[in-house]
Structure 1
Amino acid sequence: MDLVELRGLVPAVVGVLVRRGADFASAEDAVQEALIRALAAWPHDPPRDPKAWLVTAAWRSFVDWARSDAARRAREARLHTEPPPGEVSSVDDTLRLYLLCAHPSLSPTSAIALTLRAVGGLTTRQIAEAYLVPEATMAQRISRAKARLADVEIADGSRDLGTVLHTLYLVFNEGYSGSIDLAAEAMRLARQLATRTEEPEVLGLLALMLLHHARRRARTTAGGRLVPLAEQDRSLWDTAMIAEGVALLQAALARDRLGEYQAQAAIAALHADAQRVEETDWVQIVEWYDELVRLSPSPVARLNRAVAVGEADGAAAGLAELARIEEGVPRRTAVAAYLHTLAGETGLGADLYARAAAEARSTAERDHLTREAARLRQQLG
C-alpha cells in the first residue's frame, strides 16, 4: 500500500475511534501516531487488513493516553478494555468528518489545516511547509481548531455541504508550494467525497478542479511568468483530464440540481472545448455566467461576466456591465484595462494596466500587468 492509499484510510479510522467513545481531538492524534508506526512497520510486515491494523494501533494509543491522564479517570472507567478482535465496522464516517472539519465555527484557515490533517492524513510538518509557516505555528493552529470542536456533535450527511466544498476549493486554489501539491490533495479529497454523497455540486467541484488543473502546464512559462488563457499553448493542456472533467460535469448536470460549482465548471469546459482562442463560444459562456450570477452574485463572477460580455457583444457592452460593479473590487482595474484596450483605447488601457499592477496582490500578477502596460505604450510609440 502506498502513502496516498494509507492516507485515504485516515478519516474512516478516526470515525471508528469517535464511535467507540474517543473525543475527536484525541482520536485524530491517536491515528497520526498509528500512521507513524505503520510507515515504520508495514514495509517489512504488511498487514492483511490495513484499516483494522490502524484501528487497533490507534485505539491502543488512545487507551494508553486516557489511562495515563488522571483527569480522565472517569472516562477510563467507561472505556473498560480494548474491544475484542474481529472485523472493523463497515460504517463510513468520512462524510461526517468532512462536515466536522469544515464546521462554521472555524476560520477558513483553521478549517483547511484541520481537513488536510484529519481527513487528508497529512502531517503537521507537511501542512506547515505547504503554507510556508513554522511547524509550531501550524501545530498551534490545528490544536486551537480541535479545541474549538471539543463540544461539537459530528453532523450527519444531511447537513449542507457548502462549507466543505468551499474549504476544498480554497485548498485547491493554494496550488503548489513546499513538498505538497495542494491542488492534487484537493482533487484527491474531492474524489473521496464524491463517493460518499449524491450531491451534484461535489461532482461539479471535482469537474471544475480537473478542468482548471488540466491547463496547469500552460499557465506559466519556465521562468514563472503568467500566461493569459488567450495566449496559452493549448497543446500543453491535459486532454484526458479535460475529458474526465467534462464527463463528471455532464453527470452532475443530469441530476438537475444546478449549483455554482457546476456553472463554473461549465464555463471552464467551454474554454477547454475551443481548439483555438478564436473558436471560444462566448455567447454560451455569457449564458452560463448569467446562471452563475443568479446562484452567487459575487463581484468576481460579475467581473468575469463583464469580460465575457465584452468578448461576445463588443467592448462597449462589456464596459457598460463593468460600470455596474462598484469601485474597489479586486481586479476591477485590470478588467477595465482589458476592456478599454479591446475598445481601441490604447493609451487609457496602458494607464489602467499600470494602475492595476500597483494594486496586484502577487508578484507574478504585478509583473504580467506591468508588461501589458509597457507593451501598449510601445505601440503608442
Structure 2
Amino acid sequence: MPHSTDPYEDDLPSPQPVHYAEQSLLGALLLEPHRLPDIRVLEADQFSNHTHGALFQAMRTVPLPDPEAHRSDPAWLNAVLDAARPQAPGLTISYLHTLVQVCQWPQHAPTYARMIQSDHARRTLLIRAQRLAQTAADAALPNRAVATLGQADALAQFLDTLAGQFTPHPGSLPRTVLPKQPTARSSEEALDEERILLSTATAHPAALKGMRWLQPDDFTRSLHAALWQCLTSLVHRAEPVDPVTVLWEAQHRGLLAGDLAAGDLMALVTAPVGSAEYWGERILQRALLTRACDVATRVAAYAEDPANTPHQLINGSRRALADLTALRTRWQRSTAPTPPTAPRAPRSPAVARAGPPPRATTTRALR
C-alpha cells in the first residue's frame, strides 16, 4: 500500500498540482537547508496548505545548520519540527521524512517556489473578484457605487503588484471560455425609474443638454433606450419636444411596428416627477453596478481556470476592468458638483494716465 504524502489526507480533497510543488519545495529545503536564502520572495501565507506554510516559516526561524553536520545529524529537523508544531499540531517527524523522500531534485527549489507564488496569485485574484461582486450586489451599503469603485481600485492595484512579480509576455491573453451571462431580469424599480426619466425629460428637455453622460446602453429595457435616443435626437436638432413629437420620432424609428400602441407610448412620456438629472444618475449608477458584477464574473472565471499563467490573468483582468473605466468616468461626471460661478467684481473706473510734465519756461524764452 503506498504511503500517504499528506498529514491530513482524510480531511482534504484530491490534491492539486500546487500541493506537490509545495511538498517538493519543502523536501528540497529539508534536505539542503542552504538553499533557503534563494527563496526570499516566497512568504509562508502563500502556501495553499496551512501546515506547509507553518513548516516553511519554521525553517526561516531556526538558524541554518552546518551542511556537513546536517547530513548525519537530525538536530535541525527536530528543531524545525518543534518550531512549527505550535501552528501545526498534527505535524510529525515522519511527514518531514516523507517530504524529503518526495523531492528528487533539490536544485529545482526556485522553480517550485515560483509555482507556489503563481497559484497564490490566482487564488488571491479570485478572492478580490468575489469581493468586487459582493460589494456591487450589497444593497445595504450606504454608498454602494463608491464602495464598488474602491474594490475595483484595489483589484487594479493588486494586478499592478503582480505585474512586477512575474515576467511579462506581451499579447498573452486568457484562453478561458467565459460563461454566458444570464439574461438580466429588470427589476420593477429600475423600470419605473426609466419611465419617470423619459416623462420628466419630455417635460423638461433643456436638461438633456447637460446629460450627455447618460447613454442608451445604460437602460435595462431596449424600448426605453430607443425612446431616450428619440429625445436626444429631437434636442440635438433643436426641434420642439412634447409627447406628440416624441411619438412621431418613435414612429420613424420603427418603435410602433410591434405590439406597442401609440396611446401607450404617449402615456409612457406624460408623467414627469422631479428632475431628469436625478433619475438619470440613478439609472447610470445601476448600470455601473451591473457592469462591475459582469467584470467580477469575468475575472473570477479567469482565476478559476488553472490553465492561465499569471501574465494571462493580469492581461485578461486588466481588459475586463477597462470595460468599467469608461462607465465610471461618465458616472463621476454626472455626480461631480457644479463649480460655483464666482460673481464678477465691479469694474473700477479707468484712471486717467498722467501726462508729461509741463515744459519749464526759461528766462531766455520769455525774452
Shorter-chain TM range is: under 0.3
Tell me which of the two structures has the higher relative contact order, counting C-alpha pairs closer than 8 angstroms and 6 or more residues apart.
Answer: 2
Where is the helix percentage greater, Structure 1 or Structure 2?
1
If the length of structure 1 is used for normalisation, what is the TM-score? 0.25
If the length of structure 2 is used for normalisation, what is the TM-score? 0.25
